[in-house]
Amino acid sequence: MAIYEYCCDQDGVFEVTLPLGTAPGSLTCSVCGSDARRVFSIPNLRRGSRTAVFAAIDHAEKSRYEPKVVTSIPPTGARRQTPMARMTPALQRLPRP
């Protein structure tokens, strides 16, 4: 399912959840009944904090020209272990490399 935005001239922007790729170019506004046209926007921009979004954009832009340089390998104790799923009987029968 995907969230699509539509803009009604009288009532403004509203969202509709539809299966991916099935959104029509216009829908009927549930408030006034007039046609609302589909609006294309950045996903989830309205849901998050605007400062967090702009900070992420600034960080991405800065890293393009001034990437952080690693000067040493992190200590072995600093590694995070990735949790592994338990072996099910079906997975235990698979050949091992």
Task: Residue 57: give its domain's CATH number.
Answer: 2.20.28
Question: What are all long-range contacts of 63-70, with beta carbons under 8 Å and residues at least 24 apart?
Answer: none
List the Cα angle 61/63/64 in 5-degree steps.
65
Is residue 83 domain-resident?
no
In a domain? residue 17:
yes
Domain of 31? Answer: 1-67
Give the model confidence (pLDDT) of 22-34 as tens digits. 899 999 998 898 9
Residue 93 lies in a domain: no
pLDDT of residue 77: 64
In a domain, 82, yes or no: no
- Asked if residue 74 belongs to a domain, the reply is no
Domain contains 31: yes
The total number of structural domains that make up the chain: 1
Amino acid type, 38: R
Residue type, 19: P
User: What's the pLDDT tens digit per position in 37-92?
Assistant: 999 877 666 666 667 777 888 888 888 888 778 788 877 765 566 667 677 888 77
> How far is the C-alpha of 57 from the C-alpha of 5, rounded, in Å?
23
